[in-house]
Structure 1
Amino acid sequence: MEMKSLTAETRKRISLRGTGMYAAIAEQLREMILEGELPPGAHIDEKALCEQFDISRTPLREALKTLVTEGHVTHRQHMGFQVAPISKDEIGAIFEVLHGLEETAGRLAAQRIDDKQMRVLLERHRTMEAYHREGKRTAYYRANQKVHQQIVDVAGNAVLSDLYASLMSKIHRARGAANADVLRWSESLGEHGAILDALSRRDGACLARLLREHSEHTAAEVMKVLQATSGN
């Protein structure tokens, strides 16, 4: 399994001693899984990772145990650690819930967002546009997720925010595995523009509808790609 070389900043974090060491390793592995660098179902080569990170097996094991509790990694005796597989049925079910959460967040956000929060969202949208022009898909997707989470957060409901973030972490992994360069992009950016326009007008009904439709379009594309890559 070929892995990307670590940046100097990452090496510095991973070289930390004490309790921070395994957390830094877990953070790097989590990112590799979420971005699809470690694909679903892949066996985790502990020896290769120890060499890559220049660490012993003990902190690596602690990091992997953390990822097991998060559901990103599985462990079976005599078989070692494995990247958790993605269930198309589970992802489909999660999207069904997310559609409703997006719609609810839209109605509440239109009522509760303030001018400062709106300015931050508009600035992030401009950043997304720049990433789109420059062809930076990974950076674009991360900015995209920040915009969606902020819209949910300004709805002012902590339960809604926590549930949305938890479910989106699973969708993030599915999208990384599905290979973001085949997902719709320009269409999605246009939808984001319409969403922010509705939010700036504080039009809750329109915003709720647009967010739900945007979520449904994204779900259809992700499920199509997962179906194609699974071969089923």
Structure 2
Amino acid sequence: MSATQTLLKTARLRTLGMSAEITARLRTMIQEGELAPGARIDEKAFCAAFDVSKTPLREALKVLVAEGLVLHRQYIGYRVAPVDLDELRKTFEALHGLEAYAGELAAQRLTDAALARIERKHQAMVDAHAAGRRTDYFRINQEIHQLIIDSADNVVISTIYAMLMNKVHRARGAANADMLRWQESHDEHEAIMTALREAGRPHLARLLRRHSENTAKEVLSVIDQTLGEPATRAAYPVRR
């Protein structure tokens, strides 16, 4: 390999590294609601904010377009993808079933080591709740759910669940819904932890499904109210 080829390869790797970092940062901003559905992504402003050229930024945006988080239109540019209420409702329906079935499997397969990991995460979530750290609470909350799903020891369920939760995570961030039922959600998690500690865990699947249904009810209600406002309807279109 010539010196020129080596330099080009090094530059490409550096660009890919920056692109991966930018992808992660933009994904978090979208999922946490910092970048609202329908918001325009100003490439010049983001290049300045991230202190990068357009190349790694556009590489990152291509990934987010593929994930469905960003839309691209020629001559118009990039925008955060809108929330599709009908798709969100159906995603929640699928999640309810996954939570319940994974709960049934976890009741049989949860190991002591897995329970200990969940216990540690739960305590971290309790601490975040007590300190009023909503973003940390929200992140740890989802990590706990994924750990419970993973304890079912079914990689297919774990993978599908993680993919679907990416869609729901974003909607919850946009709606800021879990702030509205923060204490209720916290209490439900305490009940889930009690169910995890019980012999045989007979109530785990039911509590996981109920928690998922309650979360869906709140998120869908907030998004639906947003859709009902003429000023924001264009940012949250629903496919018919």
**TM-score of the superposition, structure 2-length normalised?**
0.87
1:115 corresponds to which residue? 112
Q: CA offsets, 1:184-207, max 9 Å, x none?
A: 011111111111111111444411
- Report the CA distance shift for 1:218/1:66 in structure 2 as closer, same or farther (over 3 A): same
Aligned sequence identity (%):
57
1:33 aligns with 2:30: yes
- Report the CA distance shift for 1:202/1:145 in structure 2 as closer, same or farther (over 3 A): farther
Give how far 1:181 is off.
Answer: 6.0
Equivalent positions of 1:13-52 (< 5 A) are 17-52=14-49
1:155 corresponds to which residue? 152
1:104 corresponds to which residue? 101
1:128 corresponds to which residue? 125
Equivalent positions of 1:1-16 (< 5 A) are none
1:188 aligns with 2:185: yes
1:62 corresponds to which residue? 59
Give how far 1:151 is off.
Answer: 0.3
1:170 corresponds to which residue? 167
Tell me how far apart the structure 2 counterparts of residues 104 and 115 of structure 1 sit (CA, whole Å): 20
Give how far 1:49 is off.
Answer: 0.5
SS at match of 1:59: helix
Q: Which amino acid aligns with 2:180?
A: L
- Report the CA distance shift for 1:182/1:126 in structure 2 as closer, same or farther (over 3 A): closer
1:211 corresponds to which residue? 208
- In structure 2, stretches of 5+ residues that fail to align are 1-12, 230-240
SS at match of 2:203: helix
Match of 1:197 among 183, 191, 194: 194
Give how far 1:231 is off.
Answer: 2.4
Tell me how far apart the structure 1 counterparts of residues 177 and 131 of structure 2 sit (CA, whole Å): 15
SS at match of 1:74: strand
**TM-score of the superposition, structure 1-length normalised?**
0.90
The range that moved more, 69-78 or 193-202, is: 193-202
Larger radius of gyration: 2
Equivalent positions of 1:129-148 (< 5 A) are 129-148=126-145
CA contact (8 A) 2:178 2:185 kept: no
Q: Which amino acid aligns with 1:195?
A: I
Tell me how far apart the structure 1 counterparts of residues 106 and 213 of structure 2 sit (CA, whole Å): 19
1:4 corresponds to which residue? none
Give how far 1:110 is off.
Answer: 1.1
CA contact (8 A) 2:15 2:56 kept: no
- In structure 1, stretches of 5+ residues that fail to align are 1-15
Q: Which amino acid aligns with 1:79?
A: I
Q: How many residues align?
A: 217
Q: Which amino acid aligns with 1:138?
A: T
CA contact (8 A) 1:121 1:147 kept: yes
- Structure 1 runs of 4+ aligned residues shifted over 6 Å read none
CA contact (8 A) 2:61 2:70 kept: yes
Tell me how far apart the structure 2 counterparts of residues 104 and 77 of structure 1 sit (CA, whole Å): 43
CA contact (8 A) 2:70 2:78 kept: yes
SS at match of 1:41: coil
CA contact (8 A) 2:192 2:208 kept: yes
The range that moved more, 132-141 or 193-202, is: 193-202
